[in-house]
Amino acid sequence: MVTESFLTLPQLELPSKGGSITVTAPSNIALVKYWGKSQGQIPRNASISFTLSNCFTKTTLGFTPFSEQSKAGQEMVNDLDDSNFEVFVDGLSKPDFAPKIATFFNRIEAYLPWIRSFQWRIDTENTFPHGSGIASSASGFAALAGALMELENSWSLDPLPPELWAQKTSFLARLGSGSASRSVLGPLMYWGTHPALPASSDLFACILDQEVHAVFIDYKDTILLVDQGEKEVSSTLGHNLMHDHPFANQRFDQAQDNLGKLLAVLACGDTHEFCRIVETEALSLHAMMMTSNPSYLLMKPNTLAIIEKVRIFRRANNVPVCFTLDAGANVHLLYPAKFTPQVMPWIQNELSGHCQAGQFIEDQVGQGVKKV
Ligand code: PMV
C-alpha cells in the first residue's frame, strides 16, 4: 500500500446544507514505543499499543457549505487556515489550537479535497482532566480523522468497507499525531513495518489480528497522575532530538526486537515476560530523553518512587502488574483484570500518596473510534 492509493478519491455527493457529526476516540498506551520519525510522520521503528476505553475525546464536527456563507464565490487562499475552521474545547473558543489544526488540514487536504468546500466548527471535549499530563493529541486527532471519514463515507456513492475505512482513518490520524494512528481500532494496534507482521505499514496502524491470549483482552490500565503540569519538552521536540542521537539506531533495533518478542508473549499469555518487555520499553524511551543533546528528564521523584514500589509489590505478591510511561511523569499500571481486588487497595493505600492531589484514573483496554 502506498500513499498514492489514498489519493484515489471516491465519488461524492456533497450536501447543499450544513450539518454535524459526533464521534469519540480513545487514547492509547504504547507497549513498544514510537520515538523518532522521518519526514512525513514516518516512524523509525514499529510500535504497538493497547487502545484505552475511559480516556477519550468526543468531537462534534459541524460543517457549513461555503455556498451558504458570506464567503461564497471568494477566491480560495492557498493554505487552509483558521478562516476555514473554529475550534472549541469544552464550549470555549480556543484560537491557540488553530495552528495545529491548520497544519493537519493542510496535510490531509490531498486525501480529502472536499474539506475546502466547507466552513468547519470543531467542538471537542476530553473525559480526562485538562493538564492531567495525558496527551490529548492521540485521541483528539483520531476523533477528528474519524469524524471526517464518517462524513466522507456517508456522502460517498461507493462507501469504503470497514477495513479500508479504518485504514484511511488511521492514515489521516497519523498526519495529525503519529500515535493517533493507533487509536482507531482496539484492543491492540500496531504501526510501522515489522518483518513479523506482513500487513504492517509505516502509513497506518492495523489491528492485531493474530491469536491474543484471553488474559490480555480485559487488561487494566490505572493511570497515576504524578504531575499534571504542562510537559516541559514537547513530543515534537523529543522526536527531533532522535535525529542526531548517539543511540538512535540501537534504540530502533531494540524496539523492533521487543515487538517481535511481545507478539509471542501476547499469543501465549506469559504476563511476567510481558512485564519485562513493557518496563524495558518505558525506561528506554526515557533513557533516550536523558541522553539526548540537550538532555532532559520528564520523570519526577514520585515517578521513581512508584516504579520501585511496583517492582517490590510484584516480587512479594507474584502479581503481574507492571508500569509503563509515555512522554511525561505519569505512570500507567498495567495488570490483568482478575488481579484488581489485590491491586486496587495497594494503589489506594500505597501509591495514590505519590499522585498529585491523590488522583488516578481507572481505565482498561477498549475498541477505538465510535460514531455517537
Ligand atoms: O504521537 P506523538 O508524536 O505525540 O508521539 C508520542 C510518542 C509516545 O507517546 C511517547 C510513545 C508512543 O508510541 O505512543
Asked if residue 230 lies in contact with residue 329, where contact means CB atoms within 8 angstroms, the answer is: no
Predicted pLDDT at 9: 86
Q: Report the nearest-CA residue for atom 9 of ligand 1.
A: 326
Question: Ligand 1 pocket check: which of 179, 188, 191, 288 to mutate, most ligand atoms within 8 Å of Cβ?
Answer: 179
Number of Cβ within 10 Å of residue 118's Cβ equals 23
pLDDT tens per residue across span 9-40? 889 999 999 999 999 999 999 999 999 999 99
Asked if residue 29 lies in contact with residue 326, where contact means CB atoms within 8 angstroms, the answer is: yes
Closest atom of ligand 1 to 137 CA is 4
Measure 285 CA to ligand 1 centroid, in angstroms.
10
Measure 135 CA to ligand 1 centroid, in angstroms.
9
Predicted pLDDT at 78: 72
Q: List, in sequence order, every residue forming a beta bridge with 65; answer none if it has no partner.
A: 118
Predicted pLDDT at 246: 97
Phi, psi of 143 (to 5 degrees): -65, -45
Question: Ligand 1 pocket check: which of 27, 32, 34, 177 to mutate, most ligand atoms within 8 Å of Cβ?
Answer: 34
Quote the CA–CA distance of 232 and 242 in Å, as a whole number: 17
Measure 30 CA to ligand 1 centroid, in angstroms.
8
Predicted pLDDT at 71: 52
Predicted pLDDT at 101: 95
Ligand 1 pocket (Cβ < 6 Å) reads 30, 33-35, 47, 135, 137, 177-179, 235, 239, 285, 326-327
Predicted pLDDT at 72: 46
Measure 251 CA to ligand 1 centroid, in angstroms.
15
Quote the CA–CA distance of 84 and 219 in Å, as a whole number: 41
Name the stretches of the chain with pLDDT < 50: 72-75
Quote the CA–CA distance of 357 and 352 in Å, as a whole number: 8
Tell me the pairing of strands 85-89 and 118-126.
parallel
Closest atom of ligand 1 to 179 CA is 1
Residue with cell 450544513: 18
Measure 36 CA to ligand 1 centroid, in angstroms.
9
Question: Ligand 1 pocket check: which of 28, 35, 221 to mutate, most ligand atoms within 8 Å of Cβ?
Answer: 35
Closest atom of ligand 1 to 28 CA is 14
